[in-house]
Amino acid sequence: LSAEGKHRLVLSEVTPLLSVPSEASLSPAVDDVSVSAARLSVRSGGSCQAAALPAGVSLEPSSCRGLRRLSGDGLHLRMRLRRPPPAADLGFTLRESLKPQKNYVLYCQSCGDIIVKDRKFRRVLPLPSENWSALVEEWCCHPNPFARSTLHPQHDDCFLGDTFFVLNSGNESHKSKENTRVICKRCKTMLGETVSSDTIKYYVTEVIIQPSEGSFSATPRSHFLQSTVAQCLLELSSAKSTFRFTIKGDDGKIYILVWLLNSDTLLVESLGSFSSHSVFTLFGDIFMPSSGPVGTWDAVKVLYQPCVRSRNKDLADAWENDIGVHPLKFPSETCLELLLILGLSTASLPPSLRCVNSFQVRNSCY
């Protein structure tokens, strides 16, 4: 429950932590905290304020423990949570949605301009990891047989990477004459980069692929970005058993270190009955569409370290040389956007929950 106006329940699968507002909207004397399966109530003086849980989510009152009051946070307590099991498949949606022998349209995510119209893919194939060539050299006792080979798609191919997909450029004209950056003709957003004279790599954070029979549906940029990155982390952690990531820009610099803590976080935001004239939500007006009195989102919990302006350089260098850390590459502007979203999310948490050791905490919905 947030400390200002709207209340936020940050719930994990086993032991949710609830932070009840005190300084912002409750009097110093709290007479009673009442917990039922469907709601939490706080009685102070002659008033009683409550926050309800969404349908399908309930608490176990008998498991309530650790009730305490922290300066600047409010009341904290822990208890077990009951909720329907999440969907079994939380994989990266792009891999699941792209099918061969279907027509697709590519849109710029920022402005909705059509980038590629009515492209039918005969083959949709996953690419090996970016360091596959180095791995071949480690495994082969003779010179790398693929050293002079490149994976370039034909006109009707779509190759999928971790954070991008590769297409034959065909007659598309979004290339910048100054460099290899591929930009949107309408809003000038960087969409990807040229791999060769006839091959373009588009980043999944910048482009939306939809079937030709569908229509473009605008999604707030911050919501789309955090959802795309969160699903990417989920898939890679499941497929490769890796939980540490470096977020790199197209300029080769590391912008963020990310440590995936868990993927079973449930965020619940309840309007409840607390009153406040200054309401700051986890996502802000542009981050998440209004969902009524109670909103629920599945989320991943990550720890992160910013690396801009040479911050955490030694740690970044150590992670870059660690085989257990997976690099993720995005446009540099997108890395800065992501860092801003991380910072806003951390600032919205109660002070006592913002850091774990030297890392900052962030919940990212998907």
Residue 179 has pLDDT above 70, yes or no: no
Q: How confident is the model at residue 275 (pLDDT cuts 50, 70, 90)?
A: very low
Q: Are 316 and 322 in contact, with CB atoms under 8 Å apart?
A: no
For residues 144 and 241, membership in a common domain is answered with no
3-state secondary structure of 352: helix
Q: How does the average pLDDT of the chain come out, rounded?
A: 78
Alpha-carbon span 337 to 341, nearest angstrom: 6
The residues facing 160 across adjacent strands are 126, 165
Q: Give the angle subtended at the CA of 195 by the CAs of 222 and 192, to the nearest 5°.
A: 15
Give the range of the structural domain holding residue 240, as residue numbers without chain letter: 221-365
> 90-146 pLDDT, tens per residue?
444 577 778 899 999 999 999 999 999 889 999 999 887 766 666 666 677 777 666
Report the pLDDT value the prediction gives residue 268, as an integer from 0 to 100.
72
Average pLDDT, stretch 165-194?
81
> 322-340 pLDDT, tens per residue?
989 999 999 999 999 999 9
For residues 202 and 265, membership in a common domain is answered with no
Average pLDDT, stretch 282-299?
53
For residues 337 and 247, membership in a common domain is answered with yes
> 53-91 pLDDT, tens per residue?
777 888 888 888 888 877 777 777 788 878 777 655 444
Q: How confident is the model at residue 15 (pLDDT cuts 50, 70, 90)?
A: low
Contacts by residues 52-58 (CB-CB < 8 Å, ≥ 24 positions apart): 52/270, 52/272, 52/293, 52/294, 53/9, 53/268, 53/270, 53/294, 54/268, 54/294, 54/295, 54/296, 56/83, 56/84, 57/11, 57/81, 57/82, 57/83, 57/266, 57/268, 57/296, 58/82, 58/83
Report the pLDDT value the prediction gives residue 123, as an integer from 0 to 100.
93
Residue 362 has pLDDT above 80, yes or no: no
Q: How confident is the model at residue 176 (pLDDT cuts 50, 70, 90)?
A: low
For residues 265 and 345, membership in a common domain is answered with yes
Closest CA to 172 of 96, 124, 108: 108
Q: Is residue 229 part of a domain?
A: yes
Where does a domain end: 47, 82, 117? 82
Report the pLDDT value the prediction gives residue 87, as an integer from 0 to 100.
57
Q: Is residue 326 part of a domain?
A: yes
For residues 334 and 230, membership in a common domain is answered with yes
Residue 193 has pLDDT above 60, yes or no: yes
**Residues 6+ away with beta carbon under 8 Å from 204:** 94, 163, 164, 165, 228, 232
Task: Tell me how many domains the chain contains.
Answer: 3
Q: Is residue 4 part of a domain?
A: no
